[in-house]
Structure 1
Amino acid sequence: MTIQLSQDEILRRGLDAFAELGYDAASVRELGRRIGVNHNFINDRYGSKLDFWRTVVDYAIAELGHDDQPEPDDPALALSHRVHALFRTAAQRPQLYRLVWDEASRDTERLDYLFERYLRPAVDETLPTVKRAAPEGARIPVDLLYFVLTGAISGIVQEPLARRLGRTTSAGSSNDARTAVADALASYVLSGLNGEATQPRTLLP
């Protein structure tokens, strides 16, 4: 008997596979095995592995939704709102962040796709809030700002390492546990952005 999979389930399983294996190791045959379809399925339905990867990424980002809450007028509160929302999003969808991190280490058309469609727009949307909240005279380079904001997300997505470093509560155990880890990491990042992040003094664009 053939089990009919929904489009959502196919793309979620595809995301899991790409996040765990990386693009190159996720062969069409292995993707089919993990999804639960025959090895011709990806090419027949999506055209190619790359087209399937794009569909998976678009689906995963769309599934995150959009924060419809109005941003606070106070600059510090607005920055806190954005950073906590970012970290909570990572806690709810760590596979997507694993995929992005993996792709960010390779100069490929897949990184171009992520950067042009999602990463650059997200940075452009966040920069005005950071500028408003930064201490007077602070100049934070955009690349460093990105890695400050996203680097600490490793504490969410690298759960096996976190346990080896002494974490006793698994971030994957419940929504409350994931949210608690996300909020703790966001608070550490905000303490740096709101306080000592004044060097190097390179102008923001």
Structure 2
Amino acid sequence: MTRDDADILRRGLAAFAELGYQGTTVRELAKRLGVSHNYVNDRYGSKEQFWRAVVDFGIAGHVADLMASFEQTDDVDVLRAVVTRWFTLAAGTPEANRIIAEESVRDSTRLDYLAEKYTRRFWGELAPVIQRLMDSGRMPQVPLLLVFVALNGPALALTHQNMHNRLGSALPDTDEDRIRMAEQLAQLVVGGLVTSGPGRQEVPARTSPDS
């Protein structure tokens, strides 16, 4: 990849993160990229193909780092390392994280792309770790999807700057402070999921008022 290619993708990443896919027109892209109106279609084939290239540019390089977090011997250590790395990557790549958050609520071929290329691979590695922790009594017995929700929500919320502003507490400005915040969040979340020792836990099913 040339320096010019990287700059084009970096600008595209910023545009999609700010405006969303639907709000980012080809005309607006050409303006922000400093290229001709036909550049995106000529170079990438379509706006969606350019979006895929942008996503790969924004997050593909971090996948190896995240997957390397599984190289631990104890499942609790694996979970802690993976969640910490997941959250720090989310905090360190806010534009890519905003794109993921935006696409996660829409049924589209773009969400299919994210799920097939990234999410399912990652979750396929993490789910057995969580299941073993449940089976050993180190985590409550709940549906695996519920654990994904418990982990994915905080990761996406790390980029909800506007809501944080309205709560009177802006997100940190420096990379160092953002990483520290992500690490603290990971400790909080993992600490709430994992018990200090074996002992099977069951999360009671909700009962009706009449039962």
TM-score per shorter chain, which class? 0.7 to 0.9
How many corresponding residue pairs?
196
Quote how far apart the aligned CAs of 1:105 are. Answer: 1.0
Following the alignment from structure 1 to structure 2, what is the Cα–Cα distance between the partners of residues 92 and 30? 26
TM-score (norm 1): 0.85
Does structure 1 conserve the Cα–Cα contact (< 8 Å) formed by 2:87 and 2:183? yes
Q: 1:110 — aligned with what?
A: 110
In structure 2, do the counterparts of structure 1 residues 86 and 132 end up closer, same or farther at CA, with 3 Å as the change threshold?
Answer: same
Work out which of the residue numbers 17, 40, 43 in structure 2 matches 1:42.
40
Quote how far apart the aligned CAs of 1:194 are. Answer: 0.8
Following the alignment from structure 1 to structure 2, what is the Cα–Cα distance between the partners of residues 197 and 190? 16
TM-score (norm 2): 0.83
Does 1:62 find its partner at 2:60? yes
- CA RMSD across the alignment: 2.3
Q: 1:191 — aligned with what?
A: 191
In structure 2, do the counterparts of structure 1 residues 6 and 140 end up closer, same or farther at CA, with 3 Å as the change threshold?
Answer: farther
Residue identity in the other structure for 1:180: R
Work out which of the residue numbers 130, 150, 157 in structure 1 matches 2:159.
157
Q: Name the SS for the 1:73 alignment partner.
A: coil
Quote how far apart the aligned CAs of 1:94 are. Answer: 1.3
Q: Name the SS for the 1:23 alignment partner.
A: helix
Following the alignment from structure 1 to structure 2, what is the Cα–Cα distance between the partners of residues 34 and 177? 29
Gap regions ≥5 residues in structure 1: none
Moved more, 126-135 or 146-155: 126-135
In structure 2, do the counterparts of structure 1 residues 198 and 5 end up closer, same or farther at CA, with 3 Å as the change threshold?
Answer: same
In structure 2, do the counterparts of structure 1 residues 69 and 103 end up closer, same or farther at CA, with 3 Å as the change threshold?
Answer: closer
Q: 1:131 — aligned with what?
A: 131
Quote how far apart the aligned CAs of 1:61 are. Answer: 2.0
Quote how far apart the aligned CAs of 1:9 are. Answer: 1.1
Which structure has the larger Rg over C-alpha atoms? 2
Following the alignment from structure 1 to structure 2, what is the Cα–Cα distance between the partners of residues 190 and 55? 33
Could you report, residue by residue, the CA deviation over 1:105-159 in whole angstroms, capped at 9, with x for unpaired residues? Answer: 1111111111111111111011122223346173332322222111012442112
Moved more, 153-162 or 66-75: 66-75
Residue identity in the other structure for 1:159: Q
Quote how far apart the aligned CAs of 1:69 are. Answer: 5.6
